[in-house]
Structures are given as C-alpha cells and as structure tokens.
C-alpha cells in the first residue's frame, strides 16, 4: 500500500445513524457516526450548552490512555466548531471506528493494547468533520487537520507531511495542526524535541496544506501556480465531497 | 443514553398480519436472506460483512504471549464483541447489554468451543510462549440478524488472517516480521456458520429466516443453529419463551444446512478471489515457506 494515495470519502454510509462518513487517506481508513442532538445523561448534562462526546475505537485491541488523549484533543477542538450553545442539555455523540491503519512491516506489533499516535489524527479529524456535516449539526466553520513529522535524514532535518508509521518511529518530533475554514489555528499539538523556529516552519507547511485557497475569480476556481501539490488539498477535498453528496441527494430536483 | 424506540402497536400488528398472509415487508420469501456482501481489507484478517442494513467488521490479530498456567500446550484465542454507540445510541461504552452478551456467548459457542481454530497449533514453546489470536468484532450498523452476520465475519476474517512466521533453532525462538518472511495462515479445522430462525404467532407457527430489526422486535422466539457444511451441528440455542414444535425445528435444521453450504461456498469463493488479487505476478507460491501436505 502506498502512502501517497489520494483521499477518498463517502457520506451517509450507515443507515441508522443521524450522520456518518467514511474517509481513507494515507493508508488510514476511519468510519464515523454522529448522533445528535440527543438526550444527554445526567452526569454529562450542561445547562447552557451541548456536551460533545467523542469515542475513538481502535481496529484491534482495547483502547487505552493514548486513545483517551486523542479523544480529549478532538473533543476540545470540535466543541469549538459546533454551535454548542444552541442545544443546552443535549449530547452530540461522535464515534470514530478505525478500520485500517498502515502497519510497520519491519516490526511485529503488540496488539492487545492498541496504541495510536498522531499519524492518525488528520484522518480522525477529517472524518468527524465530514460526519458532522452529514448529520447537519450546525457549525461555526469547517476545519481540516494535518500531521507533520520532522525526520533526521542525512544530517538534515526534513519535514514530512502525513508521515508513515516508520517515519513517525524515527522522527525527532511529530506535530498535528488543524485550521478552520477561516484560516484560524484550531489545534496545535506536538510530541518530541524541536525548536521554536522548527515549529514556525511546521506551522507554515501545515497552513499551506490546510488552507490552500482555490481563489474564485469570476466564478472560475483557479489554483495558485506557485503552490504545486505538496500534500493533498484537504479543504478543497472536504468541500467537493460534501458537494458531491448534496448533488446526489438532490438529484430528483 | 436514550432508550431505543419500540415499534408502535399498529406497526407490530401490521408486521404480524402480513406474516400471517405469507408476506414480508421487504418482499422476501420466508427462507430467503437479504443480499449478503463480503469484502476483505488490504490487511490480512479484515472482513467486512454487509447483510441488508446490518454491517459488521471483524479484524483478527495475533501476538506472542505466555500461555495460561493450566493449559501450557494451548494458545490463546479470544473473540471480543463490544457494541459501540455507533450501532445505536442506546448502547453505552463499557456497559454490556443483553444483545451484546448473547452475541458474544453464541460466537464463543459456535467458533471457539467447536474447535474451529486448532489452539494447540498456536503453541510455540510449551508453557512459555504461544500465539494469542484475537478477533475484534465491530458492529457498524444493526439492521437485524446480527448473530449470523457477525459469525460469518469472524470466520471469514480468521480464514483470511495470516500470522507472522516463526522458527525455533537450538531453543531460540525467532518471530519474523512481514518484511522478512511471508506470514502464514492459521490452522483452521472447519467453518461453522450461524443460521437464525425467528418465530411469530401465538404458538410460534411462522418461522422466518434472517429477520430485520423490526421483525426481531416483534418475534416471540428465535432459534440459532450453528453448523458447518458437512451438517455437523455445533450448537442450537432456542431463545424466547414460546415453545416451538420439535418437527418444525427439524425442518429448520435441514434448511439451515443448505444455508450453511451457501455461506461456505461464498467464503471460499471470496477468499479465492482475494488470493488472486494479492498474487500479483504469481510470486506467492515462491514466497511461501510452508510445504504442501
């Protein structure tokens, strides 16, 4: 399996959930279901806003602290996007089921305790945003995320977008950044050793991946020439996935 | 979590009356399954079963561990069935419901206790090292007849699965990574399948195969028969209070055998197709380390 495959997405894949999406990119495949707003349990109920519940389920083995960590990251950034104040005492439940993740062919994995890392975060993030859109949950903006790793290669530090498990293992530091559709930084998490300058460079790269604008000129979408494909154009991809779904659903019109 | 909405009285009556007039809401015959789809993932041991609106994903995985002290010659084989809120919001994490308990018990009885997987072959060093094979069943959507779909998914994923190759030389155990040696299949003895009958009516006189979620909520009893294509029955579980006549059950078992043969043929066909897809350039035979029997 190559890591440079184009992203794929399908919306509304599960018949019984309010909204669902399946997204696969760079070897990761994630299915998400969104139910909401539904009745919250007493312990989760908040008098002024909706509670956003994110559950990450690994493909094999039981989830541990790493999954809880990713859940809390997703939960805090997604509750920034969702208009939680509109649904007091409610629950918006997002379940992310990992179906496939690229394996490191050079090591035998321990599987009973699943341990996820930052490499999967972009896939989890994009899937949950797509599922929320599919469930028609009101949101302030959409958002896209990307992972960047700094790998030491031949004495120079190279930055890799969407790193493979092997690259993450060898990386000096791994960063996950998410940007909203208004180019605001939503999430910035880092792991490992890095300098402030390196982080600035990583941020710049991530911004280029997430916020690459397709400039609209007189109704024609044009790509900027100087930003030739490094990494997928996630925001545009998200948009076209939803557009396709809407077009298919309103076909009868 | 909100409770699952029960069908209304008129909805129940409608389903029952239709069944009494030999009709099903989706226009199927009484002994007809919904369209069954089986796909395998890019990795070994990932099987995705779609049965109408029911969708189950099973993933097999293996790792080397220490065997149980009372069974030093056996490997470890577990089936994990945890229903997530993805199935329905009424399911909660870490709180098993009746559906989940029944599903895991039936899968346990059908696949584990019928000896479908030879656990002795999973032993590497007696009392010290063995393989632990684990199958995770993920129910993505519950549209009725979860048991049959889950059983098929687990069997398909285990037959598709390949565990890393190992060798013992001079008492030193080596586990080869996929990059070093092509992984090897499990020692699989027979493929049991579940066939679930649902009974309707006062005395359970109407028997229906592959009930949908609505039909499952209306039925008075159900009977799950697990058997392989040779007609060897692994278990029969008759659930629900209403008694069913013995002759009717015998008839159900004979129909179940034809269904099990169909499932077996489907899994064989899909596995062969998948093997062909992976065998690019016909190099697979040379990569294999095991000898033909």
By CA distance, what is A54's nearest residue in B?
A: B85
Split at pLDDT 50, 70, 90, the class of A221 is very low
pLDDT single digits (tens) A55-83: 999 888 887 888 899 999 999 999 999 99
Nearest CB to B89; choose among A35, A97, A100: A35
Joined tokens for residue B233 = 């029955």
> Can you tell me the mean pLDDT for A225-232?
47
**Percentage of the residues of chain B whose pLDDT score is greater than 70:** 95
pLDDT single digits (tens) A169-200: 888 899 999 999 888 899 999 988 999 999 99
Give the DSSP H or E segment for A149.
strand A143-153
> Quick check: A232 pLDDT over 80?
no
Cα dihedral B224→B225→B228→B230 (10° resolution): -160
Joined tokens for residue A43 = 């312990």
pLDDT single digits (tens) B201-251: 888 889 999 999 999 999 999 999 999 999 999 999 999 888 999 999 999
Chain B interface, Cβ < 8 Å to A: 1-2, 41-43, 46, 48, 53, 55, 57, 59-65, 80, 84-89, 93, 132, 134, 136, 138, 140-143, 164, 175, 177-179
> Can you tell me the mean pLDDT for B121-146?
92
Q: Do A55 and B93 touch (CB under 8 A)?
A: yes
d(CA B227, CA A186): 54
> Quick check: B23 pLDDT over 70?
yes
* Strand order, beta sheet including B233-239: B206-209, B193-200, B221-227, B233-239
Give the three-state DSSP class for A204. helix
> A41 — contact with chain B (CB < 8 Å)?
yes
- Provide the pLDDT for residue A102: 80
> Quick check: A1 pLDDT over 50?
no
Q: CA separation (Å) from B274 to B47, B93, B157, B283?
A: 11, 34, 12, 15
Is B259:B193 a contact under the CB 8 Å cutoff? yes
> Can you tell me the mean pLDDT for B76-92?
87
Lowest mean pLDDT segment, chosen from A154-168, A214-228, B217-231: A214-228
Nearest CB to A1; choose among B42, B65, B80: B42
């Amino acid at each position: 399996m190559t890591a440079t495959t184009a992203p794929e997405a399908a919306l509304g894949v599960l018949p019984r959930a309010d909204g669902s999406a399946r997204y696969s990119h760079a070897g990761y495949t994630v299915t998400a279901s969104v139910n909401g707003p539904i009745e919250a349990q007493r312990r989760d109920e908040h008098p002024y806003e909706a509670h956003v519940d994110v559950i990450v389920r690994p493909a094999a083995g039981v989830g541990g602290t790493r999954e809880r960590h990713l859940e809390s990251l997703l939960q805090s950034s997604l509750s920034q996007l969702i208009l939680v104040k509109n649904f007091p005492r409610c629950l918006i439940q997002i379940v992310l089921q990992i179906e496939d993740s690229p394996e490191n062919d050079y090591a035998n994995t321990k599987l009973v305790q699943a341990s996820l890392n930052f490499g999967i975060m972009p896939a989890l993030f994009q899937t949950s945003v797509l599922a929320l859109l599919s469930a028609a949950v009101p949101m302030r903006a959409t958002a896209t995320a990307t992972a960047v790793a700094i790998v030491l290669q031949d004495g120079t530090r190279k930055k890799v977008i969407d790193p493979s498990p092997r690259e993450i293992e060898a990386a000096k530091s791994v960063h996950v950044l998410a940007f909203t559709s208004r180019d605001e930084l939503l999430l910035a998490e880092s792991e490992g050793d890095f300098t402030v300058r390196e982080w600035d460079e990583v941020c710049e790269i991530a911004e280029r991946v997430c916020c690459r604008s397709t400039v609209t000129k007189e109704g024609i979408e044009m790509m900027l020439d100087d930003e030739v494909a490094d990494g997928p154009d996630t925001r545009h991809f998200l948009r076209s996935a939803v557009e396709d779904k809407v077009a298919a659903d309103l076909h009868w019109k | 979590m909100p409770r699952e909405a029960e069908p209304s009285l008129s909805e129940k009556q409608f389903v029952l009356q239709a069944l009494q007039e030999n009709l099903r809401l989706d226009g199927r015959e009484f002994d007809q399954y919904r369209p069954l789809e089986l796909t395998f993932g890019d990795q070994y041991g990932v099987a995705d079963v779609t049965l109408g609106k029911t969708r189950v994903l099973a993933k097999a995985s293996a790792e080397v561990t220490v065997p149980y002290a009372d069974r030093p010659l056996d490997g470890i084989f577990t089936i994990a069935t945890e229903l997530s809120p993805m199935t329905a919001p009424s399911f909660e994490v870490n709180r098993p419901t009746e559906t989940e308990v029944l599903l895991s018990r039936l899968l346990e009885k059908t696949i584990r206790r019928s000896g479908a997987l030879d656990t002795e072959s999973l032993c590497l060093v007696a009392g010290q090292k063995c393989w632990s094979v684990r199958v995770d069943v993920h129910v993505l959507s519950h549209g009725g007849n979860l048991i049959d779909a889950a059983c098929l998914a687990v069997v398909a994923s285990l037959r598709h699965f390949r565990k890393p190759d190992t060798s013992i030389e001079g008492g030193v155990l080596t586990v080869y990574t996929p990059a070093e040696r092509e992984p090897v299949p499990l020692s699989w003895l027979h493929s049991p399948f579940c066939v679930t009958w649902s009974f309707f009516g006062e005395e359970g006189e109407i028997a229906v195969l592959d009930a949908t979620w609505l039909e499952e909520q209306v039925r008075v009893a159900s009977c799950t028969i697990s058997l392989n294509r040779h007609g060897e029955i692994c278990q029969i579980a008759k659930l629900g209070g209403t008694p069913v006549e013995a002759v009717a059950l015998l008839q159900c078992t004979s129909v179940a055998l034809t269904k099990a043969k169909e499932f077996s043929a489907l899994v064989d066909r899909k596995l062969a197709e998948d093997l062909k897809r992976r065998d690019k350039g016909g190099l697979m035979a040379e990569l294999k380390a095991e000898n033909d029997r």
